[in-house]
Structure 1
């Protein structure tokens, strides 16, 4: 059985179990890996196991003691989980050091200094570390450099490049690998069974392949509308001249089909932009003779697209910028219009 039911990261779990047994758990960690591989889930399970009153030699939580019950309920007095509010572009400074009238008397950094009430030490997980403003990151430096005795702080991000050098240098970096296609298929199959549904093996195989190691992407591709849009998107991107109006209409349509919930719409647009980035990157690899596994649909469309390396690079940069704009809560309609206009002119 995988550690705490989390597929793909048993080796990392063993490393933490060994460190805990030797009394060598560090004060600050930075979890790095692409979206949808289970970093946040692993971080939550890890601190619950570290706080557990009866954890096993493999550092597995009993899920029955008072500490585990409160951790599962989200009410543990010694565990803090901080993440970017949906309506904000960055993690607010007050989440770390308190509001202006309670500065340094509230927030995550202050709570870590308090004496543990239930566990033997204090724990904190800072999700969305990619979205730390420079000011907020600087407030974390002293806590990261000199964490309170026994306290454990875990930052969760996607790439080292999105973290300040001062943050990277003060944390022990743990890299999370992509999930294999087999793992993604196993998880999706189990989830569909739990939902009282069945999915064909061929469909599972196709979804796992195009998800590129990300479970969150795989879950989106369970929507047949999104799965078929992938092919249409590649064909539109390969069309010359590129018809920006058509691309805008199709993109806005697939985004709005997610419903009125802003988070669902943003998730869809992220996927569209990620697919576009895959398209431009695959073409660039092809032009430079770099081996890059692609599926039949992607291979056929990049073969028909004639563009210079400079054009491809510009399209890739525009798509990456638009992807960043989604994370910064930019207006989605304006963002799509600007993105399609730029790649049309590239």
Structure 2
């Protein structure tokens, strides 16, 4: 996992390397930024660099071929611990945190460092977060703990104050488009640029939106909500539920599909807000702009704020593994009350 395979975060690499060479390399990091921009991949590459057995640690650059690098990349290195929220849980369980801290306290098996990467820390409750405090205050010598979330505001202040916060920015549109072409996600520059614009700098979202079935459903969903006669919220729940199940039997795959669509709803309402303010909506799709114009004709800015907030609230509940059908029923019911002409009287 060499650094050149990671796009858009050169600034962070250079900052960490400078900190290491000046003796200011912290024992705990909190990586924050939007989902799907490569924070976890970056954390694992950093772990590989710290565990590399060939290159000087001051280079902070994994060779990729030594036993330490190969084991770190394969996830089998005895001094690399990874943890996150189980797919069937709403929160990162305190047992996961305690088990990680116990293993983290053991002496390194191969060298002088032990590295732990903990994903989904936004979902820690106070009890789980407090379980980290002793490890954060008294880390083993040479140990590095990397917590991954979306915002410092989602964490306890006692945790944030003991970590170096590293902020990751979304990828630039042109850089993301280039990456999509390199990875074969898009076959044409125009397609890559459209996906990159829709994805708001997130590789994960761009990959999801590249699914042709998802693109067709997205079009039907947006046009249905913008229809002059309004929409049936119950019917939309059934359609989205059926579309989610086409992703397979795994609940996580179904939930990812639904979250993509909820994000697209939030994007739609953001475009409507721009339109009501007399600005050009930030959408590369002419069909989207037509739907945005129709909604802007009958909605006040206050309505649009409500719609966007409601979409983001639904995404939060989906991320926390709240029962999906219940979240969707509540969301579409509330959208219909604001959007449908008959409901607005």
Fold equivalence (TM over 0.5): yes
- The answer to whether the 8 Å contact 1:4/1:45 transfers is no
CA contact (8 A) 1:14 1:58 kept: no
Distance of 2:61 and 2:90 partners within structure 1: 35
Partner residue, 1:270: 259
Structure 2 match to 1:302: 292
Other-structure match for 2:78? 77
Q: Give the structure 2 partner of residue 100 of structure 1.
A: none
Per-residue CA deviations over 1:98-138 (Å, capped at 9, x if unaligned) read xxxxxxxxx11122222222121221111111111221011
The one of 159, 165, 190 aligned to 1:202: 190
- Contact 2:121–2:147 (8 Å) recurs in 1: yes
Distance 1:240 1:130 in 2: 39
Q: What is the alpha-carbon distance in structure 2 between the residues aligned to residue 114 and residue 86 of structure 1? A: 27
Which residue of structure 1 aligns with residue 110 of structure 2?
Answer: 118
1:8 aligns with 2:8: yes
Name the stretch that deviates more: 140-149 or 23-32: 140-149
How far apart in 1 are the matches of 2:275 and 2:111?
A: 54
Deviation at 1:333, TM superposition (A): 2.3
| Alignment CA distance shift 1:171-1:270 (3 Å) | same
* Partner residue in 1 for 2:212: 224
TM-score by length of 1: 0.88
Measure, in 2, the Cα distance between the counterparts of 1:286 and 1:30: 37
Q: Which runs of 5+ in 2 are unaligned?
A: 339-345
CA distance in 2, matches of 1:325, 1:183: 31
Aligned 1:307-346 pairs, distance under 5 A: 307-346=299-338
Partners in 2 of 1:260 and 1:73 — Cα distance? 27
Q: Secondary structure at the match of 1:186?
A: helix
Could you tell me which residue of structure 1 aligns to residue 343 of structure 2? none
Structure 2 counterpart of 1:173, from 150, 157, 165: 165
User: 1:104 maps to what in 2?
Assistant: none
Q: 1:2-46: CA deviations, max 9, x gaps?
A: 824111111111111122222321011111111111100000000
d(CA) in 2 for partners of 1:158, 1:241: 39
| TM-score, normalised relative to structure 2 | 0.89
Check the 8 A contact 1:315/1:343 in 2, yes or no.
yes
2:132 corresponds in structure 1 to: 140
Distance 1:96 1:230, change over 3 A: same
Q: CA deviation at 1:337?
A: 1.6
Please give the root-mean-square deviation of Cα atoms over the aligned residues, in Å. 2.3
Q: CA deviation at 1:285?
A: 4.1
Unaligned runs of at least 5 residues, structure 1 = 98-106
- Whole-angstrom CA distance in 1 between matches of 2:42 and 2:130: 26
Aligned length: 333
Other-structure match for 2:341: none
User: Please, which moves more after superposition, 52-61 or 134-143?
Assistant: 52-61
Change over 3 Å in CA distance of 1:205–1:285 after alignment to 2: closer
Q: Look up the SS of the partner of 2:260 in the other structure.
A: helix
Q: Quickly say closer, same or farther: Cα 1:119–1:289, change in 2 above 3 A.
A: farther
Is the CA contact 2:3–2:45 (under 8 Å) kept in the aligned structure 1? Answer: no
| Aligned-residue offset at 1:290 | 7.0
Q: Which stretch shifts more, 48-57 or 37-46?
A: 48-57
